[in-house]
Structures are given as structure tokens and as C-alpha cells.
């Protein structure tokens, strides 16, 4: 069983050569350990330098900061292959597709030279802390603050549902540097907080219904002092920075969900061929064939749309509304397909020993993170 990516208009021969090295790494270093990591509730930090060594981390970083200066297609290939072959949510995409862009786009030269090479090598694992208890997708409602004290910020507050929270060495923390200004988004900044800062504490590695291996954490900041040079870009521009990077984050989610949707379909076709019901393979029943035919048609549309969005993004033409639409459509498709595929497995689909059960549980969060799908509809609706 393999991910059929030919022909794809978003990739060239160099992309596909890279795909083969990514696949080999995942099959050797990730897939055999995925079950153990799920039981442990965390991916070990030791896998990160191995991924960095073969170029899986942050391939778009400019050469002058130790990167390869490649296009986002290389990130997308890591996302696709990880979703199809890896069997574990490693956290690589958060670092490569989301966090690193903030450093590249808005970081000072000092910040770039210090952090980017370590992120590329896997020496440093990063997280971005936006969500707070009680705020969810309402970033303007955040309470975490950073007041000035001499040439330092003093940070107080808490964050939750933070991917890579247990493993992170560096956290990009969204804070209010001005709690009085209106509208509230004008008072938001992003501050780099090293995990060894006094007053920073990690809370629970949260107990989730899926993606068990992904460390998702509470983070607490109690009088955490950081130098003002740790501010990312300009003070008060944090909300603008977040909004400018969200199209890529949402495209990244669409990429991963599309590959996992394809995996669920392929697993189900294989199961339907082998499962004997009333003396014949499940696939010989018309209902099974019709359900799978409908899914196959939608997968064809999905891959075509994904390539359209990737090609738009390469040219920096993908709009926030288009990114939101990609996230909305592909994650809705993922859930539709996962549920239908689990149903075709019958009672076996409810057993964790079958891959479809784990994939079905893991898929549920896709319509929530990166902004809920209800928020995606609101964003698209505002552009009408």
C-alpha cells in the first residue's frame, strides 16, 4: 500500500526525489515506534535530531541561516508522507510549517542566527502558545500579559492545548503588552520564552481522545522575566503577524488531512477485499462499492484542489479566505470519509487493533485546531 501521488501538478522531480527520502525515514524511524509512543503519550525528543539530519525540518529557511531555501512543497511532502506512513503526530509540521515562519519573517538578525540553525537541526523544539482557558479561537480575548520592568518583560498568565508543550525548548507566547488599548488586537505581541526561564512551568500533558502520542499541554507563566529583545518583531503587531501566517497554517492542515483521508480509503479497500461476509468479499456488495466509489471521486477532487492551493501558495497568492476554505473543506471531507470507512469495517472498526479506529479518533480534532470550522465559515463569509 503506497500513497499514489502521480501525476501531481504541485510537485516536480526534485520534490518527488525528496519524497522518497522522507518516506524511508518515516518507515524506518517513526512507524515502528508509533504504537509505543501512543502508549507513552509523547514522541521522544531523540527523534528530532534524526529528522533534522535528513532535512525534514524547516526546509524553507534561507541558506544564510543554515536552511535549504526550498519552497513550501517540501514541507507539504513531509506532511503528506507523515500522515500516510508515519502513524504518529510527531510535531514536525508545527515547527516547519508554522513557528519557523514567524522567526524568518519577523525575527531580528540575532534571533534568526541563534534559533533557526537549531530548529533546522532538531536541537531545539518549538511551540507557539496562543490558546488560553476560556478563550478558544477568540485571540483578542487573551489575558496573558507582559508588563515592562526596566529592559525586561514580566509575563503572567496561562495557555492550554499547546502542541509540543512538553518537549518545547522555545515557546512563542502571545501576550497583551498593552491591556488598555482598543481595539484589543492592537495591544497584542509575540514574545520568545525559553523553557528554562524561572517562573515558567509546564502543566499536564493533556489526556485527549485521539493523537495520543502528540504532547498537548498546559503552560503557566508566573513572573517570567525575559529581555525586551525577546519580542518578535514590533511590539503591538502580534495579531497582524498571526493573521498573516494563518493561510499557510491552514493549508498545512489541509495537506495532512488529505493524506490521512487517502490512507483511510486505502486501508478500507484492502479490508473490504479480504473480509468475507455471507460467503463473499465485502467489496463484492454493491453498497460497499458505491460508498467507496463516492469516496474515490471526492478524493480525486480533493487532490486537485490541494494542488491548486499549493501552486497559489508558491506564488504567494493564496488568500486568507482561500486558506480557510481549504482547511474547512478538507477537514470536513476527512471526517466524512473516516466515518464511512469505519462503518464499512463493522465491529472491527471499533477495535483499536485496526488502523481505522486510531485514524477516526485522531481525525476529530482537525475541524477544531487551526481555528474551528465554524470560524472558517465566518472568515469566508466576511469576504462575500
**Prior bond to 7 cis, omega within 30?**
yes
CB 104 within 8 A of CB 64: no
Buried b (16+ CB within 10 A) or exposed e, 274-290: ebeeeeeebbeeeebee
Active-site residue identified among 213, 235, 249, 322: 249
Active site residue 249: yes
67 by DSSP, 3-state: which? Answer: coil
Residue-wise DSSP of 144-168: -EEEEETTEEEEEEEEEEEETTTT-
C-alpha cell at 169: 525548548
The strand pair at 126-129 and 170-176 is best described as parallel
Q: Which residues contact 326 (CB under 8 A, 6 or more apart)?
A: 250, 251, 254, 305, 306, 309
CB 87 within 8 A of CB 34: yes
Q: Which residues are known catalytic residues?
A: 249
Amino acid at each position: 500500500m503506497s500513497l499514489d501521488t502521480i501525476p501531481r501538478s504541485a510537485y516536480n522531480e526534485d520534490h518527488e526525489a525528496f519524497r522518497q527520502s522522507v518516506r524511508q525515514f518515516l518507515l524506518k524511524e517513526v512507524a515502528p515506534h508509533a504504537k509505543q509512543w501512543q502508549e507513552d503519550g509523547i514522541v521522544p525528543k531523540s527523534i528530532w535530531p534524526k529528522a533534522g539530519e535528513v532535512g525534514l525540518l524547516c526546509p524553507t529557511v534561507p541558506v544564510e541561516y543554515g536552511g535549504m531555501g526550498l519552497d513550501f512543497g517540501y514541507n507539504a511532502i513531509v506532511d503528506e508522507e507523515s500522515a500516510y506512513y508515519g502513524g504518529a503526530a510527531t510535531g514536525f509540521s508545527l515547527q516547519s510549517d508554522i513557528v519557523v515562519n514567524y522567526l524568518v519573517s519577523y525575527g531580528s538578525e540575532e534571533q534568526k542566527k541563534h534559533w533557526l540553525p537549531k530548529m533546522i537541526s532538531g536541537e531545539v523544539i518549538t511551540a507557539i502558545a496562543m490558546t488560553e482557558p476560556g478563550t478558544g479561537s477568540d485571540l483578542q480575548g487573551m489575558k496573558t500579559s507582559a508588563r515592562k520592568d526596566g529592559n525586561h518583560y514580566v509575563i503572567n498568565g496561562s495557555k492550554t492545548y499547546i502542541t509540543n508543550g512538553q518537549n518545547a525548548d522555545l515557546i512563542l507566547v502571545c501576550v497583551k503588552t498593552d491591556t488598555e488599548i482598543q481595539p484589543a488586537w492592537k495591544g497584542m505581541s509575540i514574545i520568545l520564552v525559553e523553557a528554562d526561564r524561572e517562573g515558567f512551568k509546564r502543566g499536564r500533558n493533556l489526556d485527549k481522545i485521539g493523537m495520543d502520542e502528540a504532547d498537548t499541554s498546559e503552560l503557566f507563566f508566573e513572573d517570567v522575566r525575559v529581555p525586551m529583545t525577546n519580542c518578535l518583531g514590533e511590539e503591538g503587531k502580534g495579531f497582524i503577524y498571526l493573521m498573516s501566517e494563518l493561510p499557510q497554517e491552514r493549508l498545512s492542515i489541509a495537506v495532512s488531512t488529505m493524506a490521512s483521508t487517502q490512507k483511510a480509503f486505502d486501508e478500507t479497500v484492502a479490508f473490504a477485499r479480504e473480509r468475507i461476509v455471507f460467503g463473499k468479499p465485502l467489496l463484492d456488495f454493491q453498497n460497499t462499492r458505491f460508498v467507496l466509489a463516492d469516496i474515490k471521486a471526492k478524493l480525486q477532487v480533493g487532490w486537485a484542489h490541494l494542488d491548486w492551493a499549493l501552486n497559489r501558495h508558491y506564488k504567494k497568492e493564496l488568500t486568507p479566505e482561500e486558506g480557510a476554505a481549504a482547511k474547512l473543506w478538507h477537514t470536513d471531507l476527512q471526517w466524512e470519509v473516516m466515518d464511512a470507512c469505519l462503518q464499512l469495517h463493522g465491529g472491527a472498526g471499533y477495535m483499536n487493533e485496526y488502523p481505522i479506529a486510531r485514524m477516526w479518533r485522531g481525525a476529530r480534532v482537525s475541524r477544531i485546531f487551526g481555528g474551528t470550522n465554524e470560524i472558517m465559515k465566518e472568515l469566508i463569509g466576511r469576504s462575500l
